[in-house]
C-alpha cells in the first residue's frame, strides 16, 4: 500500500498541471471512498477531468504532464481525450498509476464536487458522496466486485437527503434492483 505522503506528492504535482491550464477536475475512486467511509487499500489515483477543457488545452497538457515526470503514450492520451475515454499516467517519480477520466460518468458531477482537506494543508475537489456511490454502482453493473463493499459503506454514511437522492437516481438509471441487492449483502465473509 502506498503511503498518504506519496499520494499527496502525486496529487500536488497533478493539480499544478491542471490548475495552470484551467482544467476543472476532481478526485474519485478509492481515495475518496476512504475519505467518506473507512480505510481500505487503494493502489492508484482516479481523476475525472473536464473533457472540453482537456481537449482545448491538449497541446499544452501533453508537454506539461511530461515535464512533471509522468510516463504515457501521447497518441493514446490525445485519442482518449478526443473520444472521452479513460487513459493512464504513470508517475515515474513515485511509481504510482493515475487513471484519468476525460468524461463524467454521472452527468454534472464536476459541478457538484466538494472541496476537502484530503491531506493536511491541501484542499482538493473530490466527487460528492452521492455521485461516488452512483458511479461505483455503475462499475458494479459492469462487473467490478471491489466496489460492492464501498457502496454499502457509502450508503450507510449518507445522510437522509443523500440516501433519498441515491435511491431516486438509481431508479432513474435503472440500477435500483442492483443497489438493493448490494445493500442487502453482508460485509462478512461467509463459509
pTM for the full predicted model: 0.89
> How does pLDDT run across 130-171, given as a tens digit for each residue?
999 999 999 999 988 878 988 998 999 999 999 999 999 999
3.30.460, 3.10.450, 3.90.1720, 1.20.1250: which CATH number matches 4-127? Answer: 3.30.460
Map out the domains of the chain as residue ranges. 4-127, 130-184
Does the pLDDT of residue 1 top 50, yes or no? no
β-sheet bridge partners, residue 88 = 99
Does the pLDDT of residue 94 top 90, yes or no? no
Average pLDDT over residues 106-129: 94
Amino acid at each position: 500500500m502506498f503511503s498518504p505522503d506519496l499520494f499527496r506528492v502525486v496529487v500536488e504535482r497533478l493539480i499544478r498541471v491542471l490548475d495552470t491550464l484551467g482544467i476543472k477536475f476532481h478526485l474519485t475512486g478509492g481515495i475518496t471512498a476512504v475519505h467518506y467511509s473507512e480505510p481500505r487499500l487503494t493502489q492508484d489515483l482516479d481523476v475525472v477531468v473536464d473533457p472540453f477543457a482537456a481537449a482545448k488545452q491538449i497541446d499544452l497538457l501533453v508537454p506539461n504532464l511530461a515535464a512533471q515526470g509522468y510516463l504515457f503514450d501521447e497518441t493514446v492520451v490525445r485519442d482518449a481525450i478526443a473520444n472521452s475515454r479513460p487513459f493512464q499516467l504513470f508517475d515515474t517519480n513515485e511509481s504510482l498509476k493515475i487513471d484519468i477520466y476525460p468524461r463524467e460518468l454521472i452527468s454534472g458531477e464536476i459541478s457538484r464536487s466538494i472541496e476537502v482537506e484530503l491531506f493536511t494543508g491541501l484542499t482538493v475537489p473530490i466527487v460528492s458522496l452521492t455521485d461516488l456511490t452512483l458511479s461505483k454502482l455503475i462499475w458494479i453493473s459492469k462487473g467490478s466486485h471491489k466496489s460492492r463493499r464501498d457502496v454499502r459503506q457509502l450508503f450507510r454514511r449518507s445522510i437522509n437527503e443523500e440516501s433519498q437522492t441515491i435511491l431516486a437516481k438509481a431508479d432513474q438509471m435503472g440500477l435500483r434492483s442492483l443497489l438493493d441487492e448490494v445493500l442487502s449483502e453482508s460485509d462478512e465473509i461467509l463459509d
